[in-house]
């Protein structure tokens, strides 16, 4: 009380006077001047019908200070329950209490429930819990935040499965009450171009407050209720931004991060499909939400990666790749994040045994991994064209795909190699893009091996007019060939080099051909 003694504020003077009155009562009755005794005296005084609103506010503030100082087991469970009933009654009876006073009562209820009520008996905590839940969606921010904090602490304190189920059921009932309003808010049109205009309605704001409560307490709900709420959140998701979007994303994040995979698996595919759809419409959605959706996709996929859910992970990889590929041409912050995620997925997908995929090279049969890889390669193949030259981020991802797939990239990425080669020969390609293309083709050389690359892109010399085809590939081979079989070298490279050597002696373009010959010898 010392810090309030010198204050001139009326509420502080009333508080000091209340503390002095409580001390006088305890002294007159020869009771110890300890926190539990002060609390008991304040509760007794609160029951008086003669108090005015100012005195009630001062008593309630004093109570919140005193109860926080009471040691463990300092208040009997029965007395704590009586105090809860009294405080709830005051809240319901006196609607003129100020924000600070209501916050004090809410805080007091939280302490009583967590520290002194019987947490194994739902009947003992139900009234206080219902009250905290009610004020957790209050329109007053300070009251609401305090109630949400207390509600979370109370839920954390529950150990009895019976009590947890009862509390979860109560929360779910309130959540379901707001679903019709949430649907209205999700589907409401914009007003004057603003998607936030509808939030001015109090009932719509309560929907968002309820979602905040759910996001906060998800880890402490029963599994059954958790799944029910998650299912409803998935239904509320849309591919376009709404006032609910950010709150739904936070809710899904809470579910994914705090739940075991078997708990969220029934809804995981719906979540991934919805998030991928949202990411795909990147230009129509706020940048920060697209980034959030991308992070959530990553979390969901990581959840599925291990154990028995690996097949579901593989099934959804092409869908996720398709959504993320579009982000590789977005602004820098999103592109870097998407690129890192795509590269991580490629590395994870490449863990599949090469032999398992090689056995399906004839195309008659494919396993799940092979189908996923084929779909992914098709996505990047479509991203390459004369009218859409891929940027450095897409080429970096394709390079990694070559390297991670290794020799099986020859099965799935032949057409990508040919498209990259076509782009490299375009006169309109600038130097920086040409360097990225050369590096990408170099990755293909490392992955497939020079024999297969030269099968796709043969280097040859027309003996009649000394024109060369694919001679641009020679420097790339020189920089990226790691090794080739001696038989292939003797059968293909030596005769080709000798042909260039002869042509350089008699041809008019001896300088170019001679340089090419030298590089061919050096490449191997």
Q: Which two tokens stand for residue 370?
A: 């092979």
- 23 compared with 217, residue with greater pLDDT: 217
The pair of three-digit structure tokens given for residue 47, joined into one six-digit string:
């029951």
Cα distances (angstroms) measured from residue 156 to each of 114, 149, 164, 222: 9, 11, 9, 12
Q: Per-residue pLDDT for 515 more than 80?
A: no
Q: Is the pLDDT confidence value at 507 over 60? A: no
Structural domain contains residue 171: no
Classify residue 309: in a domain, yes or no: no
Percent of the chain scoring above 70 in pLDDT: 81
pLDDT attached to residue 192? 38
Is residue 68 one of the residues assigned to a domain?
yes
CA–centroid distance for 372 within its chain? 23
Arithmetic mean of pLDDT, 165-170: 97
pLDDT digits (tens, 9 = 90+) for 315-370: 999 999 999 998 998 888 889 999 999 999 999 887 754 555 555 555 555 788 88
Sequence-distant contacts of 197-204: CB under 8 A, at least 24 apart: 198/243, 199/243, 202/139, 204/243
Rounded CA-CA distance 420/472 in Å is 12
Q: Quote the CA–CA distance of 105 and 507 in Å, as a whole number.
A: 98
- Note the pLDDT tens digit of each residue in 52-93: 777 788 888 888 888 999 998 899 999 999 999 999 999 988
The answer to whether the CB of 59 falls within 8 A of the CB of 18 is yes
Residues whose CB falls within 8 Å of the CB of residue 253, separated by 6 or more in sequence, listed in order = 215, 296, 299
8 Å CB contact between 48 and 89:
no
Structural domain contains residue 343: no
Instruction: Choose one of 106, 134, 159: the last residue of a domain.
Output: 159
- Contacts of 305 by beta carbon, 8 Å cutoff, 6+ apart: 313, 348
Does the residue 193 lie in any domain? no
Work out how many domains the chain is built from and give that number.
2
Confidence of residue 311 (pLDDT cuts 50, 70, 90): confident
For residue 83, the SS3 value is helix
Cα 25 from Cα 41, distance rounded (Å): 7
**pTM, full prediction:** 0.83
Task: Look at residue 514 in the predicted model and tell me its pLDDT.
Answer: 47
> Which residues are within 8 A (CB) of 403 and not within 5 positions of it... i.e. 6 or more apart?
443, 446, 447
Q: Last residue of some domain: 115, 139, 159? A: 159
Rounded Cα gap, residues 68 and 74, in angstroms = 11
Residue 428 above 90 pLDDT? no
Residue 43 included in any domain: yes
Q: How far does CA 153 lie from the centroid of its chain? A: 25
CA atoms within 13 A on the CB side of 416: 31
What digits encode the pLDDT tens for the residues 377-421?
999 999 887 677 889 999 999 999 999 999 999 999 999 999 999
State whether residue 62 is helix, strand or coil: helix
Find the domain containing 106 and state its range: 1-159
Task: Considering only residues 212 and 458, tell me which one the structure prediction assigns the higher pLDDT.
Answer: 212
Question: 67 with 110: CB under 8 angstroms?
Answer: no
> What's the average model confidence in pLDDT over 163-181?
96
Q: Would residue 216 count as lying in a domain?
A: no
- The pLDDT of residue 491 is 56
State how far the Cα of 275 lies from the Cα of 256, in Å rounded to an integer: 13
Is 416 within 8 Å of 440 (Cβ atoms)? no
Contacts 24+ apart (CB under 8 A), 283-292: 284/240, 284/241, 285/240, 285/241, 285/245, 286/241, 287/331, 287/333, 287/334, 289/241, 289/245, 289/246, 289/249, 290/327, 290/330, 290/334, 291/333, 291/334, 291/337, 292/246, 292/249
Assess if residue 148 is contained within a domain.
yes
The first and second tokens of residue 70, run together, are: 């009471």
Domain boundary among 127, 159, 191: 159
Supply the pLDDT for residue 307.
64
Measuring CA to CA, which residue among 238, 239, 220, 241 is closest to residue 229?
A: 220
Rounded Cα distance, 459 and 480, in Å? 16
Higher per-residue confidence, 521 vs 224: 224
pLDDT in tens, 214-228: 999 999 999 999 999
CA 447/CA 482 separation, integer angstroms: 10
Secondary structure of 144-200 as H, E, C letters = HHHHHHHHHHHHHHCCCHHHHHHHHHHHHHHHHHCHHHHHHHHHCCCECCECCHHHH
Bridge-based pairing state of the strands 460-461 and 468-469: antiparallel
Q: Report the pLDDT value the prediction gives residue 152, as an integer from 0 to 100.
A: 97
The DSSP code for 120 is T
Give the CATH number for residue 109: 1.25.10
Question: What does the pLDDT look like over 246-278, one tens digit per residue?
Answer: 999 999 999 999 888 888 888 999 999 999 999
**Which residue's structure tokens are 């084929």?**
374
Q: How far apart, in Å, are the Cα atoms of 79 and each of 46, 74, 90, 118, 136?
A: 14, 10, 17, 11, 25
């Amino acid at each position: 009380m010392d810090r309030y003694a010198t204050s001139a504020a009326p509420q502080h003077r009333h508080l000091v006077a209340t503390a002095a009155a409580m001390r006088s009562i305890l002294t007159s009755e020869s009771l110890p001047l300890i926190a539990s005794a002060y609390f008991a005296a304040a509760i007794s005084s609160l029951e008086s019908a003669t108090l005015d609103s100012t005195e009630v506010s001062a008593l309630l503030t004093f109570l919140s200070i005193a109860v926080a100082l009471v040691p463990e087991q300092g208040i009997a469970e029965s007395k704590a329950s009586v105090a809860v009933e009294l405080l709830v009654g005051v809240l319901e009876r006196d609607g003129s209490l100020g924000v600070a006073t209501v916050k004090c009562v809410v805080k007091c209820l939280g302490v009583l429930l967590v520290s002194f009520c019987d947490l194994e008996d739902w009947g003992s905590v139900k009234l206080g819990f219902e009250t905290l839940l009610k004020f957790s969606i209050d329109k007053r921010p300070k009251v609401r935040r305090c109630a949400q904090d207390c509600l979370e602490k109370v839920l954390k304190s529950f150990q009895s499965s019976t009590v947890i189920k009862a509390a979860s059921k109560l929360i779910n009932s309130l959540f379901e009450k707001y679903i019709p309003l949430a649907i209205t808010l999700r589907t409401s049109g914009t007003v004057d171009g603003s998607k936030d205009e509808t939030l001015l309605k109090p009932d719509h704001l309560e929907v968002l407050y309820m979602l905040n409560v759910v996001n906060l307490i998800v880890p402490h709900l029963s599994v059954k209720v958790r799944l029910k709420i998650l299912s409803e959140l998935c239904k509320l998701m849309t591919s376009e931004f709404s006032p609910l979007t950010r709150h739904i994303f936070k809710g899904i994040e809470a579910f994914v991060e705090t739940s075991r995979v078997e708990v969220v698996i029934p809804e995981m595919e719906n979540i991934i499909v919805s998030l991928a759809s949202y990411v795909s419409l990147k230009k129509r959605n706020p940048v920060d939400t697209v980034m959030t959706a991308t992070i959530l996709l990553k979390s969901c996929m990581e959840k599925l990666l291990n154990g028995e859910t690996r097949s579901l992970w593989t099934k959804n990889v092409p869908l996720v790749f398709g959504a993320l590929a579009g982000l590789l041409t977005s602004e820098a912050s999103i592109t870097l994040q998407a690129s890192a995620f795509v590269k991580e997925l490629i590395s994870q997908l490449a863990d599949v045994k090469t032999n398992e995929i090689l056995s399906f090279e004839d195309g008659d049969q494919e396993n799940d991994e092979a189908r996923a890889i084929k779909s992914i390669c098709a996505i990047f193949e479509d991203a390459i064209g004369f009218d859409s030259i891929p940027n450095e981020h897409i080429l970096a991802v394709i390079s990694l795909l070559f390297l991670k797939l290794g020799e099986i990239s020859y099965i799935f990425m032949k057409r990508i190699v040919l498209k990259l080669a076509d782009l490299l020969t375009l006169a309109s390609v600038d130097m920086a893009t040409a360097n990225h293309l050369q590096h990408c083709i170099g990755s293909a050389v490392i992955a497939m091996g020079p024999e297969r690359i030269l099968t796709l892109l043969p280097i040859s010399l027309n003996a009649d007019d000394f024109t060369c085809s694919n001679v641009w590939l020679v420097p790339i081979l020189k920089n990226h060939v790691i090794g080739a079989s001696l038989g292939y070298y003797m059968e293909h490279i030596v005769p080709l080099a000798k042909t260039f050597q002869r042509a350089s002696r008699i041809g008019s373009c001896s300088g170019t051909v001679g340089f090419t010959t030298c590089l061919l010898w050096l490449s191997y």
